[in-house]
Every structure is written in structure tokens, then in C-alpha cells.
Structure 1
């Protein structure tokens, strides 16, 4: 096939979370023709599961609600007008004899690129629902798997089930508004970070090791929750107004993990320059793993910079190791001039 007839990009980013969005911006700084593809109909990735959460740990920003941070990142990602393709899940990868990658979506559409940056995060996530008889009847009322409006918990009795970061973070947010917050976890130890756990234990009621065994309701509302002690089987029944279940997510990466890339238990393996085991394919964000990996939004930004720089050098070994800083980068000359004259 004649490559002149194809629309070939310098870099194609798969995944529109924080790593993918920042990579789209930074590849623009490197004057790379960029395409970003996401399986969902909106950018944001896993961040979309906690829009109301306050994010404190992004350098120079914060505290900021996650939905606002997504808006800022999306605006930044569009700085250099990358091509955005939403609602397409990539199912197949092939490499032609001329080294051009061909990505085929489940829709059948094909995308051509010289380098590939995988920022698939946690993949297509599916919430792990409460495995209790009849739980689904309350999902439209007071059983929650995510939170979009904290104000609904004001002056309520709230029970939260879970032991990870999300459960603990929600407890610390809601305790400021609610009449009572009870956190239930099936183990004695929490997997969340130490400081938020300490804050939760100081302000909320914590019951471990317990699990939800039954829900009692009136109509479509949960009125009380039956808890079972994980070791002794002892039963306690607690009256509640709202129940939040934060048991994690099932992850589905579609065909991405079937391409032969080296991987470990938690992600595709990359070297310190974000290069995968296949030349021309790079990774960033929660999708990858390496020795000093930092699983923070800020860490995803750094991964993205390193990956894009490696992709640039793969295409042009004579290129500089990194983009010039924005204050001296020619790519911003006209943009800076426009801002100054506003």
C-alpha cells in the first residue's frame, strides 16, 4: 500500500486519562502530528468515577474538584489541535513492512501511526457491585457505587463499605456533612494510604472486620444494613439513610494485553524511558509499571513527558532530548503574543 495515500500520524495515543491528555499537549510542544483515541465518549479516564472528589496532590494546583481538573487537562490537551477520536475501542494491532502501525477499532475504522503511546490507565472499568440478594433494586435511590453530588449526604446516616483509597477518601469528605459516617471493611487492615486512614479513624466510626450480609428496605429505599463479623459470624443491624459501596473495579483492556508486550502483575513493563518491549511502542500512566513508578496523577504527567520524548527520538534520533520550556518554545510564540495583547 502506498503510504502517501494514508493519513499517517507521528504519534497516536490510546487512552484519554491524565497521562493521555498531557501527552497530547506535550507532543504538540514537540511539533508532532498527534491523534488521541479513547474508547469512551469523553476524556478523563478513571477520573470520571470520582468527579466530586477534591484533588490536592497535583503540583501548583489545588485543592480542586476532579471534574474541574479534567476540564483544565482537556483544554490543555487541545492546545495544539490534536485529532481526537472518541467512542472507539482499539481491538487489533499490526505492523506493516514499512514499520507503520495499523490500529483497528471494533468499529472497523483503521488508524495509521509511526509511533504508539499506550495510556490505557485501568482500562474499561466495571464497578464491582455488592453481592447481596436484592441489592440492585436500590441502585436508583440510596445505594451508590460512585458519587456525583456530596450535598445529598448532608445530615444523613451514611454507611461506606470498602477499604481502599476511594472508600477512605469518601469517608473523609462526607464526614464533614453527614450526621454519622460508618466505614465497614472485611479486613482489619486498610489498603488506602496511611494519612487518610488515620484521618478517617479519627472522625468516622470504623467497623472491622465486617461485611454487608443483608439489606432491609421499605419500597425502594434501604432502611437498615445487616453486618456480619468476618471471623466470628456475629451479626449487627444498623439503621442507615445512604449506603456507598466502594469495592473496586474489574479491569478490561480489550486486546491491548494480547499484542505480545512484556508485562508484570500490575501493568505493561517499560524501561526508564517508557519504552515497551516492542520498538516504537511506549507507555505512560497506570497502564505501565517500572521500578520507580509513582501512581499519582503527577506521576502520569512525568511518564507522558518521558514517553513522548522517546517517541520523538525514535522518529528522529537527531532531535533534542526534550522540548524547550514553554517560556522559550517557538510553539508558544503566537499564543503568548495573543494573551499579552488581550
Structure 2
């Protein structure tokens, strides 16, 4: 049976993977995305309601909207997309073709690979309080699917990272009261966000959630305990949100490939080369001296990884794609957009 060989297979369908698919289309590469879940979006799917402020040229926008925009953009040059398959094995033939085997047994063939698996296999770090699981179907939350659920409520948020701080700021205008409890004095979030949070919410540091008091299957109050003095405080609450981060296995089977890696990522060069020729990386899966762990950083990684993959296949090729305003791949698409604009203006 004839093998369908791709120029690049992108493993992972988060922001880095989706933008890599778009950019590889600009470079006229035959592209496939393989995503272990049944939808694109990656870790951003965890916080669909979260407002993102730090994407260049875009005002505050919900994660879900960014995901939908990236999906539309990734589809521009019609890449193949495979859902529900986790890559469990990789081998390289003598002719340089990589063979990727999924947990389903299906094999995929490609000249290059871009690893864009983000944070890898993650599991939520749950609240380590006896009986907490009893309230997970009522008012103990680990994610926010609708911020309006917290309207006019007394909300306690446990955590000290960006998510906890950002949610406190977002909920403060609509909640009746927002309490933030963190086990340390310092927060590991952007300084400006922490300052804003402290002006909007009641903050308890260094405290931990020691006990949940329930009535009819719902949390009615929470006991907090000071980390040093053991002093306790009891607060009446309507909703509890826990943002303690995620336990992360960033590599999964990928670590068995023999790639050089550090504690929090596959090691790459400044242009996204891994230690194995023909394999590149982008997004949260990789680490390097200048790594920027923002969505904007993932986009830049993706461009560099695609350009490196293109040059691996064709060392005489251009070092980067032509900008979209002068790229022949957009000629027909630009005309379609002009016609849509004229029609909208009644011209």
C-alpha cells in the first residue's frame, strides 16, 4: 500500500500547533496535525472564560474566542487533522522518513516532526482536604466554565498563581465578595495583577484551607489556618474555586525517544532544533535560554520551528515565508476578502 508521506507532522493542537499548521501552509508544506484529544485548543480549553490581555494587537479576549480564531486560521491551507490519537512510538527509516505510531495502531509518515504537545499530560491538583470530593458536583470548582455562576456570590479562591489572581480580578466586579487564600506571602503572578487583586479582594496569606463545612451537599463555610501560627479563621462562602495548578507529565512517550530534555521541557536551540535532526519543537513543551511562556511566545516558536523544518527538507530554500501581504499563497484569498468587503459596503 502506498504511504502518504507528509512534509511535517505537528504533534499537538494547542496555540503553537495550530499556528505552526498555518505557517507551514504559507511555506507550501504538506501538513498534518495529530491531537490526542477530540478537539483543538490544548490547555487553553481548561479556561474558556478566562480573559487574555497579553496577545499583541488584541484587546482583552476570552480564551474560547482565541481558540476559535486559531482554529479558523489553522484551516487556511487545509492541513490534515487527526483527533483522538496519542503518539506512542517513533522510528526513523534509513531514507530519513519518520514513522509515528499512535495508540490506535495507525502509522503516520513524515519528513519532519514538530513537537507542540504543550504541557503534556496534565491532571488537576485537587484540594487536599478530607471530604472535599463530596462537593465537586455542587460548589467546589477547579475550572470556570461560566463566570456568571459567581455573580452576587461570596467566592473563596485558593491559589497563588496567575489563574487564581486573574480570576479574583475578573470576579470582583460581579461577586458579592471575593476572598483569596494562599499558603505563601508572595504570589507567583504578574505584579500588576497582584496589585489590582489586593485592591479588589480580601487576601489571606499565608493561609491554607483546613476544613470545609457542608450543609445539604454544599459548602457553607471554610476554615482557614495560618501556616505559621496555626491561627484559624472561618468564612461563610457560596462558591469555592481551587487553582492549585496541575501535575504534569510533559513528555509522555516522547521522553523515550532519546531527546535531550530538562525538568520542564525538551531542550531546543534558538531556532527550535531538538537534539535529533528532523525533530523540532514549539510552545510549552520546549525550553531554551530565551523562552517566553506566553501565547505570543508560542507563535514565535512555531514560526522558527516551521522555518527550520522547511530548511531541513530543502537547505536551499528561503529562510522564512514571504510576508502575507506579498505572499503568492494569499493572492486568491486576498481577492475573496476584497470582494466580501466590497459587498459589505454595497459597492
Q: What CA distance in whole angstroms lies between the structure 1 residues aligned with 2:255 and 2:296? A: 25
Cross-structure match for 2:344: none
Give per-residue Cα distances to partners, 1:259-314, cap 9 Å, x unaligned.
Answer: 11111122111111100000000000011011111111001000000000000000
Using structure 2 for the length normalisation, give the TM-score: 0.96
Q: What CA distance in whole angstroms lies between the structure 2 residues aligned with 1:86 and 1:225? A: 41
User: What pairs up with 1:117-136 in 2 under 5 angstroms?
Assistant: 117-136=114-133
Are residues 1:338 and 2:336 paired?
yes
Shift of 1:62: 2.0
Shift of 1:212: 0.8
Are residues 1:324 and 2:322 paired?
yes
Cross-structure match for 2:51: 54
Are residues 1:13 and 2:33 paired?
no
Contact 1:217-1:224 within 8 A present in 2 as well: yes
Aligned to 2:76, the other structure's residue is in SS state coil
User: What pairs up with 1:67-146 in 2 under 5 angstroms?
Assistant: 67-146=64-143
Give per-residue Cα distances to partners, 1:68-122, cap 9 Å, x unaligned.
Answer: 1100000000000000011111111111111111111111111111000001110
Q: What CA distance in whole angstroms lies between the structure 1 residues aligned with 2:248 and 2:36? A: 14
Q: What CA distance in whole angstroms lies between the structure 1 residues aligned with 2:290 and 2:337? A: 38
> How many residues are matched?
339
Shift of 1:155: 1.1
Q: Which residue of 264, 273, 276 maps to 1:275?
A: 273
Q: What CA distance in whole angstroms lies between the structure 2 residues aligned with 1:186 and 1:149? A: 27
Shift of 1:254: 1.9
Structure 2 gaps, min length 5: 341-347
Aligned to 1:79, the other structure's residue is in SS state helix
Aligned to 1:5, the other structure's residue is in SS state coil
User: What pairs up with 1:248-287 in 2 under 5 angstroms?
Assistant: 248-252=245-249, 253-287=251-285
Q: What CA distance in whole angstroms lies between the structure 2 residues aligned with 1:62 and 1:254? A: 35
User: What pairs up with 1:165-314 in 2 under 5 angstroms?
Assistant: 165-252=162-249, 253-314=251-312
Runs ≥4 in structure 1, deviation > 3 angstroms? none
Shift of 1:126: 1.1
